[in-house]
Structures are given as structure tokens and as C-alpha cells.
Amino acid sequence: MTRIGTSFGAVTLAANAVLMNFFLLSGYYLDGLANAAEQITGRAVGARYRPAFDRGLKLTIFWSFGLAALASAFFFFAGPWLISVLTTSPEVQHAAETYLPWAAVTGLTGALAFLMDGVFIGATWSVDMRNRMLMSFAGYLLMLAVFVPLFGNHGLWLAMNAFLLFRGFFLAMLVQPRADQTFRAAQ
């Protein structure tokens, strides 16, 4: 993100740095929920108790997306004020406000990715996690190659959000079959 952002100039690079704070802030609570998912699902797998796994997954999905939606709404509405707190440069403020919607939705696009990381770590499905991460990274590189030349910094933010979506969806598609296999083997 930073390396490609440098090609758009100092102002855009600074705006991206300001906006990455929004993603990092969302990442803190999403990572906390991923940690909870890791503990809950890991305990359920260890106990060989599928109902606890399913319930823990539903609860952490609810809280992850609920908090992500609240954070995104907060960043949309309070974003210009937060940007003015983080930088005094009018040029950087203007540029950051231009790309603010992309940063505001990173919590939502990343909610499933963070959560699935926790589920896969807790369930010790790390090989699947690695393979799906490589698939997501390939999708990210493709998105960069296509959308950055077309849309510049908007394309960069699009690729980042797509990467988060890829991570979440690629892992989520595998949860049901892996859980079926894991809990069937435990019976």
C-alpha cells in the first residue's frame, strides 16, 4: 500500500497514512473478536462439541459485523473531523476526505477476514488458512494490476478492500466442510 501510494505523490501518500489509522483502529477490535473466536472454536473442537462451535461462530459473526458497521458509520460521519485532528495540512485533509469512504468501509470488508483467521487458528486448520491466504493474495495482485492503472489511488483502496473480502469469503466457504469433517472425525 505504501510503496504503490508513493507513486501518487507526497500528498496522497500522507492522506493514505492518515486513513490507514482508521483501518488500524478497526483492526484492533476485529482482532480482539478474532481472538475470542479462536478461543471459543478451539475449545469446541478440543471438546468435540459441534453445538458450541456453531454457537460461538454465530455470536462472533454478529459482534464482528455489528461493531464493524458502527465503526464504519462513525468514520463516515466523524471522518472529516478525525482527519483534521490527525493532520493540519489542508492539501492532505482534502485528499484524505476524497478517499475517506474507502477507509471507512475497511472494518466491514475486513470483519469476516479477521474473524475467519481466529476460527481457523482456533480449530488448527492452518494449512487451509495458508492456502486461502495465498489465493487472496493472488486476487489482490490481480486487482492491483487492473485497478491501480485505471483508477489510481482509488484503485489501490479498492484492491485493499477486495483483499480483505477475498480473505474472508475464501475462508468462510471452507468453514462448513471443514467443521463437518472435524466433528465427524471426532465422533
Instruction: Give how many domains the chain has, as a whole number.
Output: 1
- pTM of the model as a whole: 0.93
Which residues constitute the domain of residue 69?
Answer: 2-186
Listed residue (119, 120, 105, 83) closest to 161, CA to CA: 105
CA dist., res. 109 & res. 103, Å (int): 10
% of the chain at pLDDT higher than 70: 98
Could you tell me the pLDDT band of residue 14, with boundaries at 50, 70 and 90?
very high
% of the chain at pLDDT higher than 90: 95
Q: Is the pLDDT of residue 117 over 80?
A: yes
